[in-house]
Chains A and B, each alone.
Chain A
Amino acid sequence: MSFPHRHLLGIEALRPEEITTLLDLADDYAALNRQPDKHADALNGLTQINMFFENSTRTQASFEIAGKRLGADVMNMAMQASSVKKGESLIDTALTLNAMHPDLLVVRHPHSGAVDLLAQKVNCAVLNAGDGRHEHPTQALLDALTIRRAKGRLHRLSIAICGDIAHSRVARSNIMLLGKMENRIRLIGPPTLMPSGIAEFGVEVFENMQEGLSDVDVVMMLRLQKERMDGGFIPSEREYYHRYGLDADKLRHAKPDAIVMHPGPMNRGVEIDGTLADDINRSVIQDQVEMGVAVRMAAMDLLARNLRLTRGAA
């Protein structure tokens, strides 16, 4: 088993067999998480700091639970309310925290590349919990685990990612991960929500949702940010829902056993029909949340092993 990484900054740096290693371990943790006693000791004695420069409820909670179940001392820092407001630079904040000897730093930041920058300045393991519109690796990993458990495999699947691709770090990490695992990827959305140079990504692009969903195994919906609904990128919420919102009618074009995913939080009636989201036969949205904790436990466990190894060698 090998996972030779100091940080988890993105999917880009991972090889397919490393992804499999991580998902296998996450499967074990998923089983543990269903036991009455959920405790393991992989992070005993280690300090985990969650630094969120951008609001988050679910990702932060997921990382916190993952750390606590593995025995880490977990501290949450709401960076929006703290020193950042006083004008401290990102690097100074990083150096200050670094002096407190954390072992795992979980970071979310509104700017692409900010987590990479921070990782260069600290000597602990850094996990990217989302940076701008760049990457959100643990989300892609939890999506992959959810797909693998639902479909029995993570290759040769036809997967549609729908919605605001341009501004989505979830989409980028998923395109990379699912591509590395040799799946067929389709992107569906209006051209205003597609990133530039998309033709070079090795994906198929559809502007018509029905065509794009035709015979896919997995339908992955993305959240449409409120601030993009005001006519700048799409004409209106209701027109978007009409053309790109997932409902039972549109889903009929996918394979009969196609699963529906959403990274949350959902805008019911904007990108997804509420009834469909709750349909336990099609929607795996709650499984995604469950797998999120397992994947984060696996990621922190693997990084902590490397951390102990390098420190033992030093």
Chain B
Amino acid sequence: MTDLHLVNARIVDPEAGSVSVGAVTVSQGLIRQVFDNKTNPFRGETGEVIDCNLKYLAPGIVDIGVKVCEPGERHKESYRSAGLAAAAGGVTTMVTRPDTTPAIDSPETLEFVTRRANEAAPVNVLPMAALTKGREGREMTEIGFLMDAGAVAFTDCDRVVTDTKVLSRALSYARALGALVIAHPQDPGLSKGAAATSGKFASLRGLPAVSPMAERMALDRDLALIEMTGARYHADQITCARALPALERAKANGLDVTAGTSIHHLTLNALDVADYRTFFKLKPPLRDETDRIAVAEAVKSGLIDIISSMHTPQDEESKRLPFEEAASGAVALETLLPAAMRLYHADLIDLPTLWRAMALNPAKRLGLSNGRLSAGAPADLVLFDPDAPFLMDRATLQSKSRNTPFDGARMQGRVLATYVAGQRIYERP
């Protein structure tokens, strides 16, 4: 029995690396078949037929590193609001961060989160758990129990485990269980107190700054420990050219290593901070234009595997402060796809490569079967128009926090509809 036919679509296939006109049929929440335009997929079939009018149909985005502020700061973002934002942004799987208050570091807190998420969010939610208790870098969490409870990866988020003994033991233990460890490579000493990337701009603005070298140093250290322990490792955000050779070497040497970057580091640079605009304060701070281009090239070549939103809600109070005191981070679930279209329109990265980084690779890294358009995969889909222009107005965002650096920006590319397991969970009004 077939439930849904999406016909007359331009199908973005990250596995084949192609965009071609065709149709997708969905049955019982799974993709049943993908057709090219020569065959008529719904002859003699039942179910709903949707004419996509030659708009683009791609796998739903799998976003690793979404911060939902439950428990602790529900006024900033709840599972409900984050889920609606994800649906409006074409994100069908949110992989959530454990840097909540308290941190998600025990099976009990994880169960709370899973229950809340399943009740409230229309998209798939897969939680990550902390690597060390309280994210304090001293004792490892119950990695085994947490995996049993559904944790898909382990990370202390932006807190770096400074004690290499603690980290090497946690990595060894994680390796035995096949757990994926995600780290934030920033040397904590060098980056302490930094609000910007060092250089002329930061000096002119008088902002405490950190050299991009802090990222390479921490990545070098982590990779040495991966060589030692053999753990599965993912660097959450690689944002500068200097870190790339180390990553390339590690991959060439056969280490089980992947890397991600954030959509903001791919589409903005340090100068965007302009007159102390705190919505552009991120962690790590925005880099210069040469780094941005180098990172985009690395996504194109596949050296950097994954693009994330690094969705980080902050309320108005924590952003309406002098730049040094303001909180870091930006919301991005809804702006991820339009911002990614900037890379497409600038001819930096084509659509199949973007979906390889936003859907296929993150799904593969977590051992999920979605993120691709093949028979038997979950029917998590996004229908979008890469050309539709609009003026971004942050008041229209679904997130409870609206700290987007794209407020007032001209953007091109909008989500038209989002499907999770064959169910339409969002349609642009």
Closest CB-CB distance, B289 to chain A, in whole Å? 14
Residues of A near B374 (CB, < 8 A) are none
Q: Is B139 in contact with chain A by the CB < 8 A criterion?
A: no
**Nearest-CB residue, chain B, relative to A135:** B206
Q: How many B residues touch A, CB cutoff 8 Å?
A: 21
- Tell me whether B275 and A116 are in contact (CB under 8 A): yes
Across-interface contacts of B204 in A (CB, < 8 A): 12, 172
- Chain B residues within an 8 Å CB radius of A61: none
Within B292-348, the residues touching A (CB, 8 Å) are 317, 320-325
Asked if A109 CB lies within 8 Å of chain B CBs, one says yes
Contact present for A113 and B322 (CB under 8 Å):
yes
**Is B203 a contact of A113 with CB atoms below 8 Å?**
no
Listed by A's residue number, 20 A-B pairs whose Cβ atoms lie within 8 Å are A89-B320, A89-B321, A90-B322, A111-B322, A112-B207, A113-B206, A117-B276, A117-B320, A132-B206, A132-B324, A133-B206, A134-B205, A166-B203, A196-B202, A196-B203, A196-B209, A197-B199, A197-B203, A198-B203, A200-B199
Assess A200 versus B200: contact at CB under 8 Å? Given A113-B322, A132-B324: yes
Chain A 194-219 against B: per-residue CB contact (8 Å), 1 yes, 0 no? 01111011000000000000000000
A113 to B200 Cα, complex, angstroms:
16
Contacts of A90 in B (CB 8 A): 321-322
Residues of A within 8 A of B (CB): 12, 89-91, 109, 111-114, 116-117, 131-135, 166, 169, 172, 195-198, 200-201
- B202→A111 contact, CB < 8 A: no
Contacts of B324 in A (CB 8 A): 111-113, 132
B211 proximity list for chain A (CB < 8 A):
196
Contact, CB under 8 Å: A172 / B206: yes
Alpha-carbon gap, A201 to B199, bound state (A): 10
Chain A: minimal CB distance from B288 (Å):
10
**CB neighbours of B199 from chain A (8 A):** 196-197, 200
Cβ A112 vs Cβ B200 within 8 A: no
Give B residues with C-beta under 8 Å from A.
Answer: 198-207, 209, 211, 275-276, 317, 320-325
B198 contact set on A, CB distance < 8 A:
196-197
A90-B322, A91-B320, A113-B323 known; A197 vs B206 contact (CB < 8 Å): no
Question: Cα distance A34–B321 when bound, in Å?
Answer: 42
Judging by beta carbons under 8 Å apart, are B323 and A111 in contact? yes
Which chain A residues border B206 with CB–CB below 8 Å?
A: 112-113, 131-135, 169, 172
- Beyond A196-B198, A196-B200, A197-B198, list 6 extra A-B contacts (CB 8 Å): A89-B320, A113-B324, A132-B322, A172-B204, A195-B202, A201-B203
A197 to B207, CA, bound (A): 13
- B317, A89: Cβ atoms under 8 Å? yes
Contact residue among A91, A113, A198 (Cβ-Cβ distance under 8 Å from B205): A113
Which of B203, B321, B323, B325 is the one whose CB lies under 8 Å from A195? Answer: B203
Q: Is the CB of A109 within 8 A of B203?
A: no
Given A196-B198, A197-B198, A201-B200: A112 and B205 within 8 A (CB)? Answer: yes
Q: Which residues of B are found within 8 Å of A117, using beta-carbon distances?
A: 276, 320-322
In the complex with contacts A89-B317, A111-B322, A196-B211, A116-B276 CB distance below 8 A:
yes
Q: How far is the CB of A84 from chain B (nearest CB, A)?
A: 12
Docked pose: A197 CA to B199 CA in angstroms = 4
Do A109 and B322 have beta carbons less than 8 Å apart?
A: yes
Is there contact, CB below 8 Å, between A114 and B322? yes
State A288–B69 Cα separation when bound (angstroms): 53
Q: Which of chain B's residues have a CB closer than 8 A to the CB of A169?
A: 206
How far in angstroms is the closest Cβ of chain A from B373? 46
With both beta carbons as reference points, the residue of chain B lying nearest to A134 in the complex is identified as: B206
| A111 contact set on B, CB distance < 8 A | 322-325
Q: Give A116 to B274 CA distance when docked, in angstroms.
A: 12
How far, in Å, is A54 (CB) from chain B's closest CB?
12
Cα distance A91–B275 in the bound complex, in angstroms = 16
**Closest partner residue, chain A, to B207 (CB atom):** A112
Cβ distance B281 to chain A, nearest Cβ, rounded Å: 11
> Can you name the residue of chain A whose Cβ is closest to the Cβ of B320?
A91
B322 touches A112 (CB 8 A): yes
Residues of chain A with a CB closer than 8 A to B276's CB: 112-113, 116-117
Q: Which 3 A-B pairs have the closest CB atoms?
A: A134-B206, A113-B276, A197-B200
Minimum CB–CB distance from B407 to chain A (whole Å) comes to 15
Give the distance to chain B from A176, nearest Cβ to Cβ, in Å. 8
**Which residue of the partner chain B has the closest CB to A131?**
B206
Chain B: minimal CB distance from A6 (Å): 14
Per the bound structure, the CA–CA distance linking A131 and B201 in Å amounts to: 16
| Chain B contacts for A91, CB-based, 8 A | 320
Nearest CB in chain A: distance from B262 CB, A = 23
CA separation between A200 and B203, bound complex, in Å? 10
- Measured between alpha carbons, how far is A12 from B323 in the docked complex, in Å? 18
CA distance A131 to B206 in the complex (A): 9
Q: Given the complex, which residues of A lie within 8 Å of B202, measured CB to CB?
A: 195-197
Smallest CB separation, A112 vs chain B (Å): 4
Residue from B201, B206, B209, B325 with most neighbouring chain A CB atoms (10 Å): B206
